[in-house]
Structure 1
Amino acid sequence: MKRYTIIIVILFFSNKITSQNDTIFFDKNWKKTNKEIALYYRIKPSKIKTKEAIGYKIKNTDSLFVIKDYYLNNNKLQFQGYSIDQNADYLAGKAEWHNDSDGTIFTREFNYKENNNSSKFKISDWPILYLNYSIADKSLLTAGLEFCLDCKNKNKLFLGAGYGITNSYNGRYYGLPDVHLSYNTEYLLFLKAGSSSKNAYAMGGLTLFNMIDLGLGYSFPYNKEKSPTYQGFTTSLTFRITKNKEVYTKLNIIQ
């Protein structure tokens, strides 16, 4: 009897240890961490045949990982979907994100049907069209493209390049190239720094879910004696247009 009791105890603790090893914990930025400071967890993904999971085949991908993430505080489902890789970096088929509080669901379809001849490891963060109108000593209208350097996090980093037009002096129009970095946080705030061939600028302000940025800052001319200078306190309004839904912040939905 004693022998059977010992065996049962050993099996119990073995199963417990195995279960713990099969659980992956994440912090608020979806970085792997320990359970004590984690907000989410994922059970070790199982595998399923690709066609059975999403209804069609993907070239060089016989099976997909079944990804299910949970909120640690209440064990409710946070995300479910299929991924080509075990880390859920390359999703396929239908993916769902669940709200912690009211059960709201955000869905997105990752469609590989038309891309089976291309590499499965591809850039998903498509360029963003941005339009910016700013006023310092004169007005400046700029348009160009941005790239979201890390869209999987709640805090987004945008790298942009464009070209602006200003009628700065005596009714003449001047062209100014624009290169900038914009750091937009989950708290609806942003910081931005950029430069043209004539000036550098820095600003911060409010962002409306990364669709619209309203900022206040200062522009520093490189040469005050050479036109156009474009200097002084600056207000700006930026619009972002893109099909990449990960660019836009969705409160309490996309985690």
Structure 2
Amino acid sequence: MKLYSFLFLLLFNFPVTAQVLNKTSINLAYRYTGRNVLQAGLEFKTNDSSAQSLIAGASFLYTRINRENKFLPEVSFHYTNIKGQLFGVSLNPYSVEPRLGFSLFNLMYLNTGYALPIHKEKYFKGITFGIQFNIAPVKSSQFYDHLKMM
């Protein structure tokens, strides 16, 4: 009976998992925030519209601080519209970074911003710029915005 219950729960959970993966992407990015930073994580599109997107993400930043490798958590939120404009903010233990930029169908972001230090050690500060690639793990992903033809 335990086996049947387990299989039932597994099959019941499968469509939910498929829907979550359909709106998720893996992000890989390079940013300059007063120092070179590499970023990797997950992004999730919270709405179904292709005219505008609200995306929440969690990632890790890799950088060297005082000759020591650091892995820092980061949370980000982005809004993109059909014109490709990007507005966002990211938060990590050392700074808050508002961003402006361009989005190419949520596949690639080019952005700039300003890192506002929130920690006594000001590792991230000043004008920033970066490029981010979003890679969807499923073939027919809803994460990417689609080009509408007239």
**Equivalent of residue 134 in structure 1, options 23, 31, 48:** 31
Separation (CA, whole Å) in 2 of partners of 1:119 and 1:200: 36
Q: Is the 8 A contact 2:50 2:146 kept in 1?
A: no
Supply the distance in 2 between the matched residues of 1:152 and 1:240 (Cα, whole angstroms).
Answer: 18
Partner of 1:214: 110
Q: 1:237 aligns with which of 131, 134, 141?
A: 131
Could you give the per-residue CA deviations for residues 176-209 of structure 1, whole angstroms, max 9, x where no partner exists? 1110101111111111101011111011111111
Residue 218 of structure 1 contacts residue 233 of structure 1 at CA under 8 Å; is this kept in 2? Answer: yes
Aligned-partner SS, 1:134: strand
Q: State how far apart, in whole Å, the 2-side matches of 1:144 and 1:179 are.
A: 10
SS of equivalent residue, structure 2 residue 142: helix
TM-score by length of 1: 0.49
Q: After superposition, give the CA deviation of every residue in 1:59-89 in whole Å (9 maximum; x if it has no partner).
A: xxxxxxxxxxxxxxxxxxxxxxxxxxxxxxx
Q: Secondary structure at the match of 1:173?
A: strand
Note the residue ranges of structure 1 that are not aligned, 5 or more in a row.
Answer: 1-116
1:167 paired residue among 64, 70, 88: 64
User: What are the within-5 Å matches in structure 2 for residues 102-117 of structure 1?
Assistant: 117=11
AA at the equivalent of 2:39: T
Task: Give the aligned residue type for 2:133.
Answer: F
Could you tell me how far 1:231 is from its partner in structure 2? 0.7
Matches within 5 A, 1:1-255: 117-118=11-12, 122=16, 124-126=19-21, 127-169=24-66, 171-223=67-119, 225-226=120-121, 229-242=123-136, 243=138, 244-252=140-148
Which of the two has higher C-alpha Rg? Answer: 1
Counting strand residues as a fraction of each chain, which structure ranks higher? 2
Q: Distance in 2 between matches of 1:162 and 1:138?
A: 18
Q: In 2, distance between residues paired with 1:120 and 1:236? A: 36
Whether the aligned pair in 1 keeps the contact of 2:50 and 2:145 (CA below 8 Å) is no
Q: TM-score, structure 2 length as denominator?
A: 0.80
Ranked by relative contact order (alpha carbons within 8 Å, sequence separation 6 or more), the top structure is 2
In structure 2, what is the Cα distance between the partners aligned to 1:153 and 1:249? 5
- Matched residues in 1 for 2:112 and 2:34: separation? 14
